Amino acid sequence: MMRMLHVVLSLFAFIASVNSQSQEFQKGEVAEKLGIAIDYFTSEKYHEALLIFNHLDNEFPLNPRFHAYMGVCQYYEWNYPEAGRLLSEALPKLGGLAPHELSVYYFHCAESYFYQEKYVEAIPYYEKHTNVCYNHEKGDALYRIAFCYLFVGNNATALEYFISSLYYYEKYSGNLTARITQIKNMINGLSKQNGEP
């Protein structure tokens, strides 16, 4: 009887140790796959990164930062509804990241809504982007916000944002002469429409 108990306990210990080793191997394999996916992501090979992220997310729920990576990948795959969903769900959970990293996620989320013609949904993400991005990036976001307001029929607010975007383009991105000319034309047109000189 004692010998049988010893055999059962030994068998149980062996199974527990094999299970532990299997989990450690599995964790190492997951970490390696995540590393590969991140390498693809940073190399702008978004399709390949997305395939790995999706596979891993189906096996083990990934954290919000990886969901943000997946959202950016979906954006570059032109799957704007999925990109917007992933990014808008992940962003509130991404406290503590570097401001510029957050700005990338905000901008891609805003762009995803913009390309779906969901202009009202895009505006807050563009605004959050402008709070954490570099000055030379603000012109693009303000320009997009101006168009969001223009497309929803708020011409007065659109005019204000075109004026703001012009300031940032001229100050920080002076080499974008075609864009600056376009903005000046938009400002002139909207000013005339609003009865301003």
Say which CATH number the domain at 60 has. 1.25.40.10
Q: Residue 137 to residues 103, 129, 165: CA-CA distances in angstroms?
A: 10, 9, 10
Kindly state whether residue 117 falls inside one of the protein's structural domains.
yes
The tokens for 151 are 């497309």
Whole-number pLDDT of residue 136: 92
Of 152, 148, 146, which is closest to residue 168 (Cα–Cα)? 146
Whole-number pLDDT of residue 95: 85
Whole-number pLDDT of residue 10: 38
Contact 72, 46 (CB under 8 A): yes
Whole-number pLDDT of residue 118: 98
Contact 123, 148 (CB under 8 A): yes
Kindly state whether residue 36 falls inside one of the protein's structural domains.
yes
Whole-number pLDDT of residue 182: 80
- Cα distance between residue 168 and residue 152, in whole Å: 23
Contact 107, 129 (CB under 8 A): yes
CA–centroid distance for 181 within its chain: 30
Whole-number pLDDT of residue 197: 57
Q: pLDDT tens for residues 115-170?
A: 999 999 999 999 999 999 999 999 999 999 999 999 999 999 999 998 898 888 88
Low-confidence ranges of the chain (pLDDT < 70): 1-27, 174, 194-197
Same domain, 129 and 148: no
Same domain, 143 and 77: no
Same domain, 72 and 162: no
In the chain, the number of structural domains is 2
Whole-number pLDDT of residue 15: 39
* Alpha-carbon dihedral sign for residues 89, 92, 93, 95: positive
Kindly state whether residue 83 falls inside one of the protein's structural domains.
yes
Cβ-based neighbour number of residue 194 at 10 Å = 10
Same domain, 187 and 123: no
